[in-house]
Amino acid sequence: MGDNLNVSSTEKNLDGESSNYSVLNWEQVKRLDAILTESIPIHGRWNFPTLEMKPRDIVKVVRCRMQERKINIREVRLNGSAASHVLHEDSGLGYKDLDLIFCADLKSEMEFQTIKDIVLDSLLDFLPEGVNKEKITPVTLKEAYVQKMVKVCNDSDRWSLISLSNNSGKNVELKFVDSLRRQFEFSVDSFQIRLDSLLLFYECSENPMAETFHPSIVGESVYGDFAVALDHLQRKLICTRNPEEIRGGGLLKYCHLLVRGFRAASEAEMKLLERYMCSRFFIDFSDVTEQRRKLESYLQNHFVGLEDRKYEYLTTLHDVVNESTVCLMGHERRQTLSLITMLAVRVLAEQNVIPNVANVTCYYQPAPYVSDGNFSNYYIAQVQPVYTCQPMHTFSPWLPCN
């Protein structure tokens, strides 16, 4: 199927035509079944009740209503870290978000609005008994249960995302895709698992699954060769292709993999990749306010229950940006490094950790009056040594404190 979901996967078969596919074994099928049948709480804001939702159930409800509204659904897939967990349990990635892809025909704005209405209306089915549903509007449901909504429509991409909130970070993310040019960042997160045969089994079979009685379920690596991508996952190797296509968030994902013990498959290629990713990050998030918003959002969404790893993550990101950024003016680069350092120090403060100052690099921007020739010293409270300010023509506006 290549890199574009616009082509129906049923047009391909598995009799040697493509090495991108693999049939799941029994252990993998059991892990997939456990994920789809696990009840996930969708937490409501304010005094709204928690929804208990099994992934298989929300998929069934949404798909049925899309079919009723004449929206063609080609297939449903499990994507992302949950798919990687199914294929290799000890991947080192873990999984938080549950990414479910509905491959559908979305040719106009009307289909996008219809899907939004369908998902919000479907939430009513999961409200506890006794809740009066008559006065609950779609707007209310959106405010209570939806963490984020995204819609992308351009020449190469047509898709939307509705993420349902979970306080422990295990959000149920429903992604509706007509076409998507780039579906992965690295080989280890390139796996997708077709769910249609298993969903049909749930509806039709009166007997439980067993090793000798279960549907054939197919996985795909949209990176390319399935066996190669799975080997990367098992050996915790970071590899990709066409790195110039990776968007700005790829830098944050790359550093996250490093913190989780993954390493570059090729050091030389990764140095080039780091430069690409840093450049793209600064293109997509061009000012320090956007960068801060993106970093804070990433920390909030990807480190639930892993707060003790935030500082290591930020120092890793600092090192990569410091070593691989070649597209910025010096002061812009220092601004970003200062932002990352500030977030790292804040993480330590939140954890009530008093760092050894000798092991923390901080950047301080002095007040404007420091450049005054009559002002001779710039003091940093309780930190030694004291730095002497130079005349205007040699003064550096950022002072390192070791």
Place of tokens 């798919």: 83
65 and 206 co-located in one domain = yes
Contact 230/87 with Cβ under 8 angstroms? Answer: yes
Angle between helices 330-350 and 288-302 (to 10 degrees): 30
- Structural domain includes residue 383: no
Q: How far apart are CA 240 and CA 264, in angstroms?
A: 10
- Predicted confidence at residue 372, as pLDDT, reads 54
202 and 258 co-located in one domain = no
227 and 261 co-located in one domain = no
160 and 254 co-located in one domain = no
- Structural domain includes residue 109: yes
- Structural domain includes residue 368: no
Q: How far apart are CA 180 and CA 123, in angstroms?
A: 27
Among residues 314, 282, 316, which one has the least CA distance to residue 295?
314
- Predicted confidence at residue 72, as pLDDT, reads 96
Vertex 183, ends 181 and 185: CA angle to 5°?
A: 115
Q: Omega before 385 cis (within 30°)?
A: yes
- From 188, 211, 235, give the residue that closes a domain: 235
Cα first-last separation, the chain = 53
Among residues 215, 167, 169, which one has the least CA distance to residue 193?
215
Structural domain harbouring 342: 237-360
- Structural domain includes residue 378: no
For strands 377-378 and 387-388, give the pairing. Answer: antiparallel
- Structural domain includes residue 6: no
82 and 166 co-located in one domain = yes
Residue 143: HSE in the Cβ half-sphere, 13 Å Cα cutoff = 8
- Structural domain includes residue 374: no
Total number of domains constituting the chain: 2
- Structural domain includes residue 149: yes
- Predicted confidence at residue 368, as pLDDT, reads 52
- From 213, 235, 257, give the residue that closes a domain: 235
The series of mean pLDDT values per 10 residues for the chain, 402 residues long, is: 37 56 97 96 95 97 97 96 92 79 96 97 95 92 96 94 92 96 94 98 95 97 96 95 89 95 88 90 92 94 88 96 81 91 93 62 53 47 42 43 44
Does the pTM surpass 0.85? The reply is no
141 and 290 co-located in one domain = no
- Structural domain includes residue 170: yes
Q: How far apart are CA 190 and CA 244, in angstroms?
A: 17
Vertex 249, ends 6 and 146: CA angle to 5°?
A: 70
Cα radius of gyration (the chain):
24
315 and 246 co-located in one domain = yes
202 and 262 co-located in one domain = no
- From 210, 235, 260, give the residue that closes a domain: 235
205 and 271 co-located in one domain = no
Contact 81/95 with Cβ under 8 angstroms? Answer: yes
Q: How far apart are CA 344 and CA 361, in angstroms?
A: 10
Give the helix ranges, DSSP H, for 12-95: 26-37, 55-68, 80-87
29 and 170 co-located in one domain = yes
135 and 257 co-located in one domain = no
* Structural tokens at position 45: 């804001």
140 and 44 co-located in one domain = yes
- Predicted confidence at residue 106, as pLDDT, reads 95
